Amino acid sequence: MALAVLGPLNDVINKTATEILDAEISKKTADVLGTFVTASFEAMDDVLKTVQDLTKEDSDGNGS
């Protein structure tokens, strides 16, 4: 169902939407963002482990 308001742009919009769907751009973008978020949290875990190691009490209990 073409919208009459868009007139001559209907074909361009239809072709653009078709190409986006065919190229699975939404899925690929979600994959990239998911990888970025996962990597960010992994980096945060590494930083927290380093902080934990640096602030760990010594075995003699004096904390320095």
Query: What's at 52, amino acid-wise?
Result: Q
15-51: per-residue pLDDT in tens?
Answer: 999 999 999 999 999 999 999 999 999 999 999 999 9
Q: Give the number of other Cβ atoms within 10 Å of residue 10's Cβ.
A: 13
Query: What CA–CA distance (Å, rounded) separates 11 from 6?
Result: 9
- All residues at 6 or more sequence positions from 20 whose CB lies less than 8 Å from its CB, including other chains: 26
- pTM score > 0.85 for this model? no
Query: What's at 17, amino acid-wise?
Result: A
The yes-or-no verdict on residue 3 having pLDDT over 70 is: no
